[in-house]
Amino acid sequence: MPIYLISKAADPLFAFAIGTSAALLRIQREQREKFPERAEDISIGSVLQLGTSRVQRWWAGEFAAL
C-alpha cells in the first residue's frame, strides 16, 4: 500500500485525536478554575464521564424542551 494512502487515512484520525484531547484539557482546566476546592478531584476521566452522561441524556431527549 502506498504511503500517501496511509497518510490520507491517518491524518483525519490524528486530527480527531488532537482536537479531542485539546477539548478535554480545556474543559478540565475550566472546571478546575470554576471549582478550585475540588480541583484535585477533577480528572480527564471525570470530564469524560460527565460528557458521556450528557450525551446519553441528550440522546434520550431530555434537552428537547430547551
**Per-residue pLDDT reduced to its tens digit, 11-44:** 889 999 999 999 999 999 999 999 999 989 899 9
pLDDT of residue 29: 94
In a domain, 43, yes or no: yes
Q: Residue 24 is part of which domain span? A: 3-59
pLDDT of residue 25: 94
In a domain, 17, yes or no: yes
In a domain, 66, yes or no: no
pTM above 0.75, yes or no: no
In the chain the first and final C-alpha atoms are separated, in Å, by 49
> In the numeric block, which cell numbers belong to residue 1?
500500500
Residues contacting 51, CB < 8 A, separation 6+: 27
pLDDT beyond 70 at 1: no
In a domain, 14, yes or no: yes
Distance CA 3, CA 31 (A): 41
| Count: domains in the chain | 1
